[in-house]
Amino acid sequence: MSGGAFGTEVTAAGVASSVLQVALTVAGAPLLVGLMRQIRARMEGRAGAGVGQPWRDLRKLMRKKPLAPDGTGPLFRTAPLVQVATALMVAAAIPFVSVRTGLGGAADLIAVVALLTLGTAALALAGLDTGTAFGGMGASREMTITALAEPTVLMATFALSTRVGSTNLPAIVDASLKDAGRVISPVSVLAAFALAAVVLAEAGRLPVDNPSTHLELTMVHEAMVLEYSGPDLALVELAASMRLAVLLGLWSALFLPWGTATSTGVPAVAGATVLFTLKVGVLGAVLAAGEVFMAKLRLFRVPELLAGSFLLAVLAVAASFFL
Amino acid sequence: MNGSADTQILDFACGLFLLAAVGALWRRELSAVIGLLAVQGAALAVIAAALGADEHHPELYAVAAGVGLLRAGVLPGLARRALAASGEDRESQPLVNVASSLLAAAALVLLAYAVAQPLARLDASPGARALPVGLASVLIGLFMLVARRKALSQVAGFLLLDNGITAVAFLAAAGVPLLVEIGVSFDLLLVVLVLRVLTVRMQSAFGATDLDDLRELHD
């Protein structure tokens, strides 16, 4: 059991690699969103606004005057900060570039999932705080989807951690780096499909939610953030893109761990950084290309998708016992 | 025994087998269900071949080829033709909705695992450990027979059930005697042919293949 090696030690180099991961996520997440929009635009025969457009939008929004609707409380104002803070924390915890992160034993898969859910819950509360019909509707839908996705995450986590004997993320990634057969086993493949559906649901992508729509009947995430403007909206957008990057990064760390550095040497970390950027970029490109051919599921069909992913996660747990 | 290529192939085929059974319950489009049945048949053939390689039974290769031909080729082909003749492409109103039937399938898989434990304890081979896969397919097939209303969905449920039984036979005892296997396969072919004729007759009599329409007997 290799979990003990990751238990307590927190080294300066580990902290440095965590800081690198956070910086990479903040700088790269809007670029990832820009890349995905650009790919989508090109495949639909449009010119597209360019990969840097999300950053330009953020800069423009940051310069505007902060403005909050009448009657909203501190919850409305702090929710974007909570979301950004949880995304930053998660980016520091998941072993993107090196399994020696600065968080040691605290980098737990269950803690990571809980942090992401905390961000979702904060934004849903902010949606309710505005008191508008759309905010409440969006919050209710978002919480429904989250509540259905959460059991899948826990089951898949269980399936991945039984073989390692630890829910510590660096320990799981380290074990699969040392034994490639672990990644290409039925358990891991089933869990990969289950978590892929959850990543789509949590990041608010097609077929669960359409990130580019403002149609009343279908929007989920956009309905909650309808009342935000200026710097607050910039934070919400940044948090949403970081969330997507972090979820794709988590998926790639669990199921495509190759290239992640097991030491904190500069060449290994530099190579791992390039590889990680490539992996997340390719995953995002595949997702964007897939979305061109996909229609949004009706809201009442979403539970079917998530029940299916839950079943896959249960099968992954069962298979870890008999296969 | 652990980690050998045969065992890995067997594990993967078992995983695919189970995934196909679950997928058949998940999808509403009947053509997709039939495609998944073909995948399951192919996985069954791979299971038989992997067991043949593992336990050095050359005749299992012949059985694997026969199973693959029948269950991945002929039976899905017949079902596909019946589907084209019936003109219905979706299971529109299952008795149990899809989300609940998926949760039921999760429970059935766990039940299969619990039931197979005493059997798996008798023998430590990788095949015996994978026994719950076959039992799970039997249970899921039975559930599909109960919960679906279209004649073709019921054919699919029946085939899932039978694939499961065959998988259990392979995994537990490296297959039944060749003569029995041929007899069972022949019966299966006849059943699917009869059900196909039934589908076509129902289609011409009622204009639909919903088995709930068959409530009373006529002379």
Question: Is the Cβ of A308 closer than 8 Å to some Cβ of chain B?
Answer: yes
More confident residue, A201 or B188: A201
Q: In this complex, is the C-beta atom of A147 within 8 Å of any C-beta atom belonging to chain B?
A: no
Q: Exposed (0-12), middle (13-18) or buried (19+): which is A72, by Cβ within 10 Å?
A: middle
Q: At what angle do helices A169-178 and A230-255 cross, to 10 degrees?
A: 40
Q: Which domain holds residue B41?
A: 5-213
Whether A216 shows a pLDDT value over 80: the answer reads no
Please report, as a single letter, which amino acid is at residue A271: G
Q: Are A61 and A233 in contact (CB under 8 A)?
A: yes
Taking CA atoms, A36 is separated from A49, A130, A197, in Å, by 11, 31, 18
Which residue has tokens 């605290």? A106
pTM for the full predicted model: 0.84
Predicted local confidence at residue B1, as pLDDT: 39
What is the rounded distance in angstroms from the CA atom of residue B131 to the CA atom of residue A199?
32
Asked whether residue B219 is assigned to any structural domain, the reply reads no
- What pLDDT is attached to residue A3? 42
User: CA A196: distance to chain centroid?
Assistant: 11
Instruction: State the DSSP code for A296.
Output: P
Instruction: Check if the beta carbon of residue A202 is closer than 8 Å to that of residue A116.
Output: yes
Structure tokens at A1: 């059991």
- Does B218 fall in a domain? no
**What is the total count of domains within chain B?**
1
The minimal CB distance from A323 to the residues B3, B11, B116 is found for B11
Rounded CA separation B47/B22 (Å): 18
Q: Is the pLDDT of residue B124 over 80?
A: no
pLDDT tens track for B31-72: 889 999 999 999 999 988 888 887 777 778 888 888 888 888
Residue A47, number of CB atoms within 10 A of its CB: 8
Percent of chain B beyond pLDDT 70?
A: 89
The span from the CA of B12 to the CA of B32, in Å, is 21
> What percentage of chain A carries pLDDT values higher than 70?
97
Q: How far is A313 from chain B (nearest CA, A)?
A: 9
CB within 8 Å of chain A, chain B residues 83-112: 98-100, 102-103, 105-106, 109-110
Mean pLDDT rounded to a whole number for chain A? 87
Residue B56 lies in a domain: yes
Measuring CA to CA, how many Å separate A78 from each of A22, A122, A249? 21, 8, 26
Under DSSP, the state recorded for B96 is: S
Contact pairs from chain A to chain B, CB under 8 Å: 64
Cβ within 8 Å, pair A311-B106: yes
In a domain? residue B64? yes
**Which of B2, B4, B9, B18 has the highest number of chain A CBs within 10 A, making it the mutation to test binding with A?**
B18
- Residue matched to tokens 């409530």: B215
* pLDDT reported for residue A30: 95
What CA–CA distance (Å, rounded) separates B172 from B110? 19
A309–chain B nearest CA distance, Å: 9
When the pLDDT of each residue in chain B is averaged and rounded to a whole number, the result is 82
SS3 B150: strand
What pLDDT is attached to residue A78? 93
Instruction: Quote the ipTM score.
Output: 0.76
Write the CA distances from A250 to A161, A173, A213, B127, integer angstroms.
Answer: 15, 10, 26, 34
pLDDT tens-digit readout, A124-143: 999 999 888 888 999 999 99
Mean local confidence (pLDDT), A207-226: 81
Q: Which residues on A lie below 8 Å from B19 (Cβ)?
A: 190, 312, 315
Rounded to whole angstroms, the Cα distance separating B168 from B162 reads 10
Q: Using the beta-carbon criterion (under 8 Å), do B109 and A318 form an inter-chain contact?
A: yes
Residues of B whose CB is below 8 A from A188: none
Residue B93: the pLDDT is: 75
Cβ–Cβ below 8 Å for B110 and A318: yes
Q: Which residue of A has its CA nearest to B16?
A: A186
**Residue A207 preceded by cis peptide, ω within 30:** yes
Res. A6 pLDDT band, cuts 50 70 90: low
Selected residue of A300, A304, A323 to mutate for chain B interface (largest B Cβ count, 10 A): A323
Q: Is A312 in CB contact (< 8 Å) with chain B?
A: yes
Distance CA A111, CA B23 (A): 32
B18 inside 8 A of chain A by CB:
yes
Q: A318 touching B, CB under 8 A?
A: yes
- A190 CB neighbours in chain B (<8 A) are 15, 19
Residue A246 · residue A35 · CB < 8 Å:
no
Tell me the mean pLDDT in the region B100-126.
85
Task: Tell me if residue A63 falls in helix, strand or coil.
Answer: coil
Could you give the CA distance from residue A313 to residue A318 in angstroms, rounded to a whole number? 9
Q: Which residues of A fall within a CB distance of 8 Å from B18?
A: 315, 319
Distance from CA of A5 to the nearest CA of B (A): 26
Lowest mean pLDDT among A145-159, A173-187, B95-109: A173-187
Mean pLDDT of the B113-118 span: 86
Q: Which of B7, B9, B100, B109 to mutate to test the interface with A (most CBs of A within 10 A)?
A: B109
d(C-alpha B68, C-alpha B191), whole Å: 18
Q: What confidence score (pLDDT) does residue A1 get?
A: 39
Which of B17, B19, B108, B140 should be substituted to probe chain A, the one whose Cβ sees the most A Cβ atoms within 10 Å?
A: B19
Range with lowest mean pLDDT among A22-31, A41-50, A272-281, B168-177: B168-177
Taking CA atoms, B68 is separated from A92, A254, B173, B209, in Å, by 50, 35, 19, 29
pLDDT at B215: 67
- Domain-located, residue B51: yes
> Token digits for A319?
């298979």
Say whether residue A155 is in contact with chain B using an 8 A CB cutoff. Answer: no
Q: What is the pLDDT of residues A230-262, one digit of tens each?
A: 999 999 999 999 999 999 999 999 888 888 887
Which pLDDT band holds residue B175 (cuts at 50, 70, 90)? Answer: low
Contacts of B8 in chain A (CB under 8 A): 181, 185
Asked if A314 has any chain B CB less than 8 Å from its own CB, the reply is yes
Mean per-residue pLDDT for A60-76? 90
Beta strands in B75-188 (DSSP E): none
Asked if residue B68 is part of any domain, the answer here is: yes
* Record: contact B102-A318, CB cut-off 8 A: no
Average pLDDT over residues B1-20: 78
Structural domain boundaries in chain A: 9-322
- Token duo for residue A145: 């989807």
Task: Determine the average pLDDT of the residues in B101-125.
Answer: 85
Helices (H) then strands (E): counts for chain B: 9, 0
pLDDT beyond 80 at B154: yes
